[in-house]
Amino acid sequence: MSQARFASCIPLPLEHKVLVNVIEKAKDWALMHGVGMRDKKHFTKDAIQIAPFVLLPSPFPRTEFTKAIELQTVLNELMHKVAHNEEFLEHTLQNALQVDEFTANLYDIWVKVRNEGITQPISLGMLRSDIMLESRCPHTENQCAKHTPYCSWKQVEINSIASGFGHLGPSVSLGLFRSDYLMHTADQNRIKQVEFNTVAASFGAISSNLPAMSRYILRQLNRGDLIKNMPENRALSGLCSGIIEAYDLFGIPSAVVLFVVEEVSYNICDQRFHEFEISETRPDIMIFRKTLNEIYEETELNDKKQLILDGHPVAVVYYRSGYEPAQYPSSREWDARLRVERSTAIKCPSIHYQLAGTKKVQQALAAAGALERFMGSSAATTRVRDIFTGLYSLDFDENGERAVEMAIADAERFVLKPQREGGGNNLYGEEVRDALLRMRHSRERAAYILMERILPPLVSGYVVRPGAPVPPQVVDLVSELGIFGVIIGTKDKIISNRQVGHMLRTKLADADEGGVAAGLGALDSPYLI
Q: Which does 524 bind (CB under 5 to 8 A by kind): Mg ion, ligand ADP, none?
A: none
Q: Which does 453 bind (CB under 5 to 8 A by kind): ligand ADP, Mg ion, none?
A: ligand ADP
Does the annotation flag 513 for ligand binding?
yes
Residue 306 or 354: which CB sits closer to Mg ion? Answer: 354
Dihedral angle, C-alpha 73, 77, 83, 89, nearest 10 °: -110
Least Å distance, CB 416 to ligand ADP, is 10
Report CA-CA distances (Å) from 477 to 1, 57, 425, 502, 506.
Answer: 18, 12, 21, 19, 6
Least Å distance, CB 473 to Mg ion, is 27
Least Å distance, CB 424 to Mg ion, is 10
Q: What is the residue type of 227?
A: I
Least Å distance, CB 308 to Mg ion, is 32
Q: Is 202 a catalytic residue?
A: yes
Q: Which does 454 bind (CB under 5 to 8 A by kind): Mg ion, ligand ADP, none?
A: ligand ADP
Q: What is the residue type of 236?
A: L
Q: Is residue 354 at the binding interface for Mg ion, with CB under 5 A as the rule?
A: no
Residue 277 or 421: which CB sits closer to Mg ion? Answer: 421
Separation between Cα atoms, residue 37 and residue 206, nearest integer Å: 10
Q: Is 58 a catalytic residue?
A: no
Residue 341 or 421: which CB sits closer to Mg ion? Answer: 421
Q: What is the residue type of 510?
A: D
Residue 404 or 454: which CB sits closer to ligand ADP? Answer: 454
Q: Is residue 506 at the binding interface for Mg ion, with CB under 5 A as the rule?
A: no
Does the annotation flag 197 for ligand binding?
yes
Q: Is 134 a catalytic residue?
A: no
Does the annotation flag 452 for ligand binding?
yes
CA 305 to centroid of chain Cα atoms: 33
Does the annotation flag 454 for ligand binding?
yes
Q: What is the residue type of 355?
A: L
Separation between Cα atoms, residue 202 and residue 208, nearest integer Å: 12
Q: Which 8-state DSSP code applies to residue 157?
A: B
Q: Which does 73 bind (CB under 5 to 8 A by kind): ligand ADP, Mg ion, none?
A: none
- Secondary structure (3-state) at 65: helix
398-419 burial, b if ≥16 CB within 10 A, otherwise e? eebeebbebbbeebebbbbbbb
Residue 258 or 503: which CB sits closer to ligand ADP? Answer: 503
Closest CA to 128 of 84, 72, 53: 72
Q: Is residue 327 at the binding interface for Mg ion, with CB under 5 A as the rule?
A: no
Q: Is 128 a catalytic residue?
A: yes
Q: Considering only the stretches 188-196, 253-261, 334-342, 497-505, report the one whose residues sit in contact with Mg ion under the rule CB under 5 A.
A: 188-196
Does the annotation flag 422 for ligand binding?
yes
Contact 6, 159 (CB under 8 A): yes
Query: Phi first, then psi: what are they for 84, rounded to 5°?
Result: -100, 5
Report CA-CA distances (Å) from 56 to 21, 377, 478, 482.
Answer: 14, 42, 13, 18
Least Å distance, CB 338 to ligand ADP, is 23
Contact 518, 52 (CB under 8 A): no
Does the annotation flag 505 for ligand binding?
yes
Binding site for ligand ADP (CB under 6 A): 130, 194-195, 415, 417, 420-423, 425-426, 451, 453-454, 480, 513-514
Q: Which does 64 bind (CB under 5 to 8 A by kind): Mg ion, ligand ADP, none?
A: none
Q: Which does 120 bind (CB under 5 to 8 A by kind): ligand ADP, Mg ion, none?
A: none
Q: Is residue 171 at the binding interface for Mg ion, with CB under 5 A as the rule?
A: no
Q: Is residue 480 at the binding interface for Mg ion, with CB under 5 A as the rule?
A: no
Q: Considering only the stretches 146-154, 197-205, 441-449, 469-477, report the one whose residues sit in contact with Mg ion under the rule CB under 5 A.
A: 197-205
Q: Is residue 421 at the binding interface for Mg ion, with CB under 5 A as the rule?
A: yes
Separation between Cα atoms, residue 518 and residue 521, nearest integer Å: 8
Q: Is 433 a catalytic residue?
A: no
Instruction: Single out the catalytic residue among 159, 197, 209, 350.
Output: 197
Q: Is 505 a catalytic residue?
A: yes
Please give the helix or strand (H or E) that residue 315 lies within, else none.
Answer: strand 312-319
Contact 73, 499 (CB under 8 A): yes
Q: Is 405 a catalytic residue?
A: no
Phi/psi-derived region of residue 222, left when phi > 0, alpha when psi is between -120 and 50, beta in every other case: left
Q: Is residue 197 at the binding interface for Mg ion, with CB under 5 A as the rule?
A: yes
Instruction: Single out the catalytic residue among 64, 134, 195, 294.
Output: 195
Closest CA to 516 of 526, 529, 503: 503
- Secondary structure (3-state) at 522: strand
Dihedral angle, C-alpha 214, 215, 217, 218, nearest 10 °: 110
Please give the helix or strand (H or E) that residue 437 lies within, else none.
Answer: helix 430-439
Report CA-CA distances (Å) from 453 to 239, 257, 441.
Answer: 30, 40, 24
Q: Which residues are annotated as a binding site for Mg(2+)?
A: 195, 197, 421
User: Footprint of Mg ion on this chain (CB under 5 A)?
Assistant: 195, 197, 421
Please identify every residue annotated as catalytic.
Answer: 128, 195, 197, 202, 359, 417, 421-422, 505
Q: Which residues are annotated as a binding site?
A: 178, 195, 197, 271, 359, 417-426, 428, 451-454, 480, 505, 507, 513
Q: Which residues are annotated as a binding site for substrate?
A: 178, 271, 505
Q: Which residues are annotated as a binding site for ATP?
A: 195, 359, 417-426, 428, 451-454, 480, 507, 513
